[in-house]
């Protein structure tokens, strides 16, 4: 009932979306929203990200250089965690993030940007098969059209022995109040989170993907009462 009420309140935005007006407007606004929100989120998960990315060098190629692809780079809030000399390819379907990404790069001169590609995670045809040591994806799989297709692209571009690093908010336990509110809020979250879903079962998709090794754990990000609190974090090896 509450979900239907939310959908009713969203009818004007839904109408704009059907006319193709909402996406074109919000894709220009969203990068400015994330430029404000992302640093606050980064502060909350700083220790977790620092721990997660601490072994990136372990997956460097024979040359010793780390070739890293980030899907859905956004404003570049992960750059500070990448090791010096990292050869970086950034992808995002929204070209309006570009100026914020370049600003982050100017603040992290230890990195070498090789490519900046406007592309969705489901179609990374600009990246050749087996040419990447590490793929990073944080707070992206919640908003893609097909998680499975993104993970298939990740497997394709990774070299054998390469790794996929992730940090994603996910669906809560189905018997919890958090999941109840995730389902209620999903319609409004989709419009104001640029397609983001609160109740996506990303862990199940990772488990079904043909990785040779999956290191995953669940965490909660404060405040615990918000619907985006449940997260999964870890890395998977091809």
* pLDDT class of 15 with cuts at 50, 70, 90: confident
CATH label of the domain that carries residue 69: 3.40.50.150
Per-residue model confidence as pLDDT tens digits over 61-82: 888 899 999 999 999 999 999 9
Backbone angles phi, psi at 112, to 5 degrees: -115, 110
What DSSP letter does each residue of 191-211 carry, written as one string?
Answer: HHTTS--TT--HHHHHHHS--
For residue 127, being part of any structural domain is answered with no
Within 10 Å of residue 203's Cβ, how many Cβ atoms? 17
For residue 181, being part of any structural domain is answered with yes
Which residues span the domain enclosing 211?
1-119+135-237
The mean of the pLDDT values for the chain is: 94
For residue 32, being part of any structural domain is answered with yes
Split into its structural domains, the chain has a count of 1
* Residues 6 or more apart in contact with residue 215 via CB below 8 angstroms: 234, 235, 236
For residue 220, being part of any structural domain is answered with yes
Closest CA to 3 of 230, 197, 188: 188
* Residues 6 or more apart in contact with residue 156 via CB below 8 angstroms: 124, 129, 130
Average pLDDT of the residues in 202-228: 96
Pairwise CA distance, residues 215 & 222, whole Å: 23
| pLDDT score recorded for residue 186 | 93
For residue 129, being part of any structural domain is answered with no
Pairwise CA distance, residues 134 & 61, whole Å: 10
Name residue 112's beta-bridge partners: 87
For residue 126, being part of any structural domain is answered with no
| pLDDT score recorded for residue 116 | 95
Is residue 180 over pLDDT 90?
yes
For residue 125, being part of any structural domain is answered with no
* pLDDT class of 203 with cuts at 50, 70, 90: very high
Pairwise CA distance, residues 82 & 69, whole Å: 11
For residue 114, being part of any structural domain is answered with yes
């Amino acid at each position: 009932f509450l979900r239907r009420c939310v959908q009713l309140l969203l009818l004007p935005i839904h109408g704009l979306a059907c006319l193709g007006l909402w996406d074109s407007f919000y894709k220009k606004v969203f990068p400015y929203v994330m430029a404000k929100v992302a640093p606050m989120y980064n502060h909350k998960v700083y220790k977790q990200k620092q721990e997660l990315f601490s072994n990136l060098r372990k997956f460097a190629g024979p040359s010793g250089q780390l070739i890293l692809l980030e899907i859905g780079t956004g404003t570049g809030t992960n750059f500070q965690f990448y090791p010096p000399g990292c050869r970086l390819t950034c992808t995002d379907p929204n070209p309006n993030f570009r100026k914020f990404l370049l600003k982050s790069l100017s603040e992290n001169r230890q990195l070498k940007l090789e490519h900046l590609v406007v592309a969705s995670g489901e179609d990374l045809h600009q990246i050749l098969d087996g040419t990447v040591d590490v793929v990073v994806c944080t707070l992206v799989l919640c908003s893609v059209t097909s998680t499975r297709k993104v993970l298939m692209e990740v497997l394709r571009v990774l070299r054998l022995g390469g790794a996929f690093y992730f940090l994603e908010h996910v669906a809560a336990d189905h018997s919890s109040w958090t999941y109840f509110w995730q389902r209620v809020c999903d319609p409004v979250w989709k419009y104001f989170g640029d397609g983001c879903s609160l109740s996506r079962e990303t862990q199940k998709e990772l488990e079904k993907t043909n990785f040779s090794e999956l290191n995953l754990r669940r965490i909660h990000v404060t405040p615990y009462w918000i619907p985006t609190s449940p997260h999964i974090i870890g890395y998977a090896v091809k």
